[in-house]
Structure 1
Amino acid sequence: MDIRRLFGANLRRLRDRAGLSQEAVAARMGVDRAHVSLMERGLQNVTLTTLWAVCEALQVRPVEFFDESVGDPGP
């Protein structure tokens, strides 16, 4: 399992559930929309600080980004 892809799949799921665009999440986090896109596609390593910022932006707990029941994040 690629942890970055797992995180990204859950980020997209949680963002969609909140009814927010990538741009809206990025604005709440104080980052560029492209950064959110890279995270969702599993192309960005996420620091603990970034994890906390996205949790705050989506009002979720960190553990929700590691839910393995979401899709198939791949090897």
Structure 2
Amino acid sequence: MDIIKVFGTNVRKYRQALGLSQEAFADKCGLHRTYISSIECFRRSISLENIQRIADALDIEPYLLFIENQETKNHL
């Protein structure tokens, strides 16, 4: 399991499920759009504080961002 890919894939999946653009989501998180993009493109590891900010903006528990599901496995 590549945790960075699983995390980035899940962030994108949950963000899109809410119908948010990267820019709108970044504003909701208090982060920059390019930061969100780099997470979703698997180019950045992030701090626990930012993981919590992202989970809060998605209104989910942080651990859900680390669960690799079958769909995620097929895309990696």
Using the size of structure 2 for normalisation, the TM-score is 0.88
- Cα deviation for residue 2 of structure 1 reads 1.4
| 1:32-47 matches, cutoff 5 A | 32-47=32-47
Gaps of 5+ in 2: none
- Cα deviation code 1:15-54 (max 9, x no counterpart): 0111111101100111110000000111110110000000
Q: Which consecutive segments of 4 or more residues in structure 1 shift more than 3 A? A: none
Letter of the 2:5 partner, please give it.
R
Tell me, what secondary structure is at the counterpart of 2:72?
A: coil
Q: In 2, distance between residues paired with 1:9 and 1:64?
A: 11
Deviates more, 1:61-70 or 1:10-19: 61-70
Tell me, what secondary structure is at the counterpart of 1:27?
A: helix
Tell me, what secondary structure is at the counterpart of 1:71?
A: helix
- Cα deviation for residue 61 of structure 1 reads 0.7
Q: Count residues with an aligned counterpart.
A: 74
Q: In 2, distance between residues paired with 1:42 and 1:3?
A: 9
Identity of aligned residues (%): 34
Higher RCO by CA contacts (8 Å cutoff, separation 6 or greater): 1
- Cα deviation for residue 67 of structure 1 reads 1.7
Tell me, what secondary structure is at the counterpart of 2:46?
A: coil
